[in-house]
Amino acid sequence: MNTVALRAMAAFIAIVAIVAAGAVSAQVFPSPHQHAAAEKNTSQPETGQQGGGDGMFPDKQPVEGDTTGGVVTGNNRFACDLYRHLANDSGADNLFLSPYSISSALAITCEGARGTTADEIQAVLHLPANATLRREEFARIDAALKSGDANCTLQTANALWAEKAYPFLPEYIALAERWYSTNLDFVGAPDASRQTINRWVEERTGGKIRDLLPPGAVDPLTRLVVTNAIFFKGAWADPFDANKTREEEFRVAENETVTVPMMQRTGEDAVYPYAETATLQVLEFDVYLPKFTLEGEYYLRPTLAAMGMPAAFSPGADLSGMGGTKALVISDVVHKAFVDVNEEGTEAAAATGVFLEPGAAPPDEGIPVFRADHPFVFLILDNDTGNILFMGRVVRPVTA
């Protein structure tokens, strides 16, 4: 499978063609950016190798001090695992999510887990076993994402929303605040608390993630909600010309097409470096990319349990590192995400909420052509570390 990394300021998008049961053929996808980096991956590394483990996504070097068992590597492996499960569950639907948002919220939760519960969460997230390394790497990544860039916006935030009367251990709260930059807010009336959390999320995602917590999500049994929010907005280094956008066919399947607004860069405006072999070459590509807007909403309890962490959702959950007893379980993990790709650039946002309650959890040829006119996978990664911040699948492009 061929992959091409599309650079956009401090982050870049990599788009990969999907081969859908022989219905469409994979094509190389270059970038509509001034300094596109392309790499042709023809082999599939073994699971556990750097970069996700299935040859689908580009490998990147981890942040300084990271190892093959580090947070960035672990997050990218988790991203691939989660994508596969959700892709299987959703059939031929569009997908969009932020693996980094989910892993951040669950990592904070994991700090309060013990025994089998902790082991399972760490295994699913592929977190380093070394607690010091894990915490330092999350803190370093968080600081780097917040450092900003003159040409784009990239920010993330964490928060703990605790029920006032519950005796959370001061050491757990202090650990979360120190290493994960969390803010601690106490909550009272359930629905008023839900609205407060939703406003916090909306403010930190540029208004793109609204009502993360639906009515009834926070109830009198809710003891803690762990949240993460992430927001990205970046312009193409070389924007598409909106006057050249045309209605064209997008091949959903072998015998099905839909009409979409297709952006394009051709001729002298479309020259990018491309790894034809081991040597980087500058070639000319005609680039065709659909405009699209995707939204995703996921309740991840069954998915995460199936991935290997059922204990956290069961009556036997051990989250005693939070309150000193085994009274809490994770009742659900909710995630919402949004992305808009247009002639000017890309805007993406996501948020995750982890709910903790007492007792049992509830039940369940010629010039190479970059033509994204059939289903494809796309990523938004941190350019310095390769950390997968957002990922999605476009099956039926839709616009706002």
pLDDT along the chain (400 residues), means of 10: 39 39 30 30 33 43 47 94 91 90 97 97 95 92 77 89 92 94 81 94 97 93 95 87 94 90 83 52 73 96 97 96 96 97 94 89 55 82 84 84
Q: Give a yes or no: residue 250 inside a domain.
A: no
Find out whether 159 and 200 touch, Cβ atoms under 8 Å: yes
pLDDT of 287 reads 83
CA 388 to chain centre: 6
pLDDT of 308 reads 98
Q: Give a yes or no: residue 56 inside a domain.
A: yes
Q: How far apart are CA 58 and CA 277, in angstroms?
A: 15
pLDDT of 184 reads 80
Pairing of strands 246-253, 369-371: unpaired
Q: Give a yes or no: residue 400 inside a domain.
A: no
What is the CB neighbour count within 10 angstroms for residue 206? Answer: 17
Q: How far apart are CA 383 and CA 230, in angstroms?
A: 16
pLDDT of 6 reads 42
pLDDT of 387 reads 87
Domain extent at residue 141: 3-235+291-394
Q: How far apart are CA 142 and CA 181, in angstroms?
A: 8
Q: Give a yes or no: residue 252 inside a domain.
A: no
pTM, whole model, 2 decimals? Answer: 0.80
What is the CB neighbour count within 10 angstroms for residue 69? Answer: 16
Q: What is the CATH number of the domain that holds 162?
A: 3.30.497.10
| List of E strands, 114-190 | 152-163, 182-187
Q: Give a yes or no: residue 271 inside a domain.
A: no
Q: Give a yes or no: residue 41 inside a domain.
A: yes
Q: How far apart are CA 311 and CA 319, in angstroms?
A: 10
Q: Give a yes or no: residue 112 inside a domain.
A: yes
Q: Which of 107, 143, 145, 102 is CA-nearest to residue 128? A: 107
Q: Give a yes or no: residue 48 inside a domain.
A: yes
Find out whether 349 and 338 touch, Cβ atoms under 8 Å: yes
pLDDT of 16 reads 39
* DSSP line for 276-291: SSSSEEEEE-EEEEE-
Q: How far apart are CA 166 and CA 229, in angstroms?
A: 24
* Residue 268 burial (C-beta neighbours within 10 Å; 0-12, 13-18, 19+): exposed
End-to-end CA distance of the chain: 31
* DSSP line for 234-271: EE-SS---GGG-EEEEEEEETTEEEEEEEEEE-GGG-E
What is the CB neighbour count within 10 angstroms for residue 56? Answer: 19
Instruction: Give Cβ neighbours of residue 147 (< 8 Å, ≥ 6 apart).
Output: none
Tokens of 355: 């709910």
Q: How far apart are CA 155 and CA 3, in angstroms?
A: 26
Q: How far apart are CA 134 and CA 278, in angstroms?
A: 34
Q: How far apart are CA 392 and CA 396, in angstroms?
A: 12
| Domain total of the chain | 1
